[in-house]
Amino acid sequence: MASRDPARPNVLFILSDDQGAWALGCAGNDEIRTPVLDGLAARGMRFDNFFCVSPVCSPARASLLTGDIPSRHGVHDWIRVGSVGPQRVDYLAGQTLVTDVLAGRGYRCGLVGKWHLGASDVPRPNFVTWFAHQSGMGPYHDAPMVEDGKLVKVPGYITDVLADRASAFVHEEASQDAPFWLSLCFTAPHYPWIDCHPEAFTRLYRDCAFASCPDEPPHPWFTGGKAAIEKGKRDRRESLVGYFAAVSAMDAAIGRVLAALDAEGLAESTLVVFMGDNGMNLGHHGIWGKGNGTRPQNMYDTSVKVPCIVAQPGRVPAGVVSDALLSGYDVFPTILEHVGVDHVSPRAKPGTSFAGLLAGRPGGGDAPIVVFDEYGPVRMVRTREWKYVHRHPDGPHELFDLVADPGERANRVDDPAAAATLATMRGELAAWFDRYAERSRDGRDKGVTGCGQLGLSERGDATHRMFADTHLVGADWDLWVDNGERSHASEPAPVAPVLETDGGKP
């Protein structure tokens, strides 16, 4: 049967889409309703300072799976083309994923939901279940999915559909003589928001003040354009109702999957990890969007901080909140250590296992005290006290004193009093990326603008620059689309030929 051994647990890896760290009840938001996730945190550990590796979905997800940074795995932006069909591109071809390592040790792997790393219509090796979203986002009803290798539209509310499929996977795997890994990747709470979610959840927020989402003047770098700004302000309340409802509906759906674990007697032998892929601004800093909600891209905490909860009764201490600074590249070594699987990479990876924290060991093991992020030419180094953001080649650069200025409002990069701190952090940032980046995939000169990735990074910067000037109001930050009429279900035709590939390999 599925693992009944707590020392070699099954893994339920749950990923939300565009959920800010602030959008969680147990994180201190008393407006949003997340009783299931609050309960999961009460039974496990919640991490208050968890950072995505890149503040947009595809590169952040690739880093969770590979343990590498974008300038090593080569996924630098959300995947615009290459998801399905003859022009598919496998953006992770030839790379070792955490699921590959686990499958090699007898785990049965499954995916239910969003993949958004190319070649969504071809199951990854070693996966026994592959129910994938065709692209990355789209309508919440009649969603475009891949089932049994076929492109289909699945009736129903996609959040509930994914929970039902995940629950079925748990019940089916309970009779298998092997542990399982299940990636349950929701599209919630990604837009569209308005008139997209069940009334049972939207009614929860009809009278909400939404004090957790400040109505600030537009950020000077906001990319939405004047028309989008005006529409966003006009529809602000309905957008927020939809976003909050999407989170609450997902929370309830997660509850059904956890109930399936309980029903099969697998709760104590299953490691449950819940995370967001990247942060989100809903008016924060005057931005509606994430890292690509501005041009140049931003690294505000609201864009790079994500919710993270880890639970396994009997092995992970209950009700603990950790303030350790952790990153998505730490997930790969942590999960492998926790489940007791040894893996030696042929080269150094940036992540540090925080399995010691999960085990409740004093001091938490070797948890890092510095985190690094990147989004193409934009790079960040952050400590508890300071954040430095460097934009290749010419800036603008930013330096924030997070103790005196936690809201990141006062840029001190030109302040003589902070010159020594600036020099130290700039040197640390350069040295770290020199160590972990792979030259042909280094994002600093790939022309990444937040408008989407069109091919493999090592095949040339035109794959990123293609839409930069003609598509300023990018599809992935147009947050007020009409109820799914415009989506990634049908990918836009590129303005130049997509790179030819053979099975995703250059």
Report percent pLDDT > 70 for the chain. 87
* Helices within 44-97 (DSSP H only): 57-66, 70-73
Band (pLDDT 50/70/90 cuts) for residue 26 is: very high
Distance of CA 244 to the CA centre of its chain: 18
Mean pLDDT score, 159-166: 98
Q: pLDDT tens digits, residue range 83-138?
A: 999 999 999 999 999 999 999 999 999 999 999 999 999 999 989 999 999 998 88
Residue 465, pLDDT score? 52
List the domain boundaries for the chain.
Answer: 10-477
464 near 448, Cβ under 8 Å? yes
**Can you state the percent helix, strand and coil of the chain, rounding each to 5?**
30, 20, 50
- The rounded distance, in Å, linking the Cα atoms of 15 and 184 is 6
Q: pLDDT tens digits, residue range 317-362?
A: 999 999 999 999 999 999 999 999 999 888 899 999 999 999 998 6
Please determine, for residue 294, whether its predicted confidence score (pLDDT) is greater than 90: yes
- The rounded distance, in Å, linking the Cα atoms of 326 and 506 is 33
Residue 56 vs residue 479, higher pLDDT: 56
- Name 273's bridge partners: 13, 310
Domain 10-477 belongs to what topology? Alkaline Phosphatase, subunit A (3.40.720)
Residue 463, pLDDT score? 52
Mean pLDDT score, 149-166: 97
- The rounded distance, in Å, linking the Cα atoms of 101 and 198 is 39
Residue 462, pLDDT score? 43
> Among residues 145, 169, 34, 125, which one has the least CA distance to residue 83?
145
Please determine, for residue 435, whether its predicted confidence score (pLDDT) is greater than 50: yes
Residue 63, pLDDT score? 98
Task: Work out the mean pLDDT of the chain and round it to a whole number.
Answer: 89
Please determine, for residue 461, whether its predicted confidence score (pLDDT) is greater than 50: no
CA-CA distances (angstroms) from residue 265 to 4, 45, 167, 257?
8, 21, 13, 13
- The rounded distance, in Å, linking the Cα atoms of 479 and 240 is 11
Does the CA dihedral 166-171-175-178 come out positive or negative? positive
Please determine, for residue 476, whether its predicted confidence score (pLDDT) is greater than 50: no
- The rounded distance, in Å, linking the Cα atoms of 188 and 18 is 7
Mean pLDDT score, 183-197: 95
Residue 15, pLDDT score? 98
Mean pLDDT score, 165-178: 97
Residue 489, pLDDT score? 33
Q: What is the 3-state secondary structure (H, E, C) of 234-245?
A: HCHHHHHHHHHH
Residue 363, pLDDT score? 65
Q: pLDDT tens digits, residue range 369-427?
A: 899 999 999 999 999 999 999 999 999 999 999 999 999 999 999 999 999 999 999 99
E strands within 392-464? 398-401
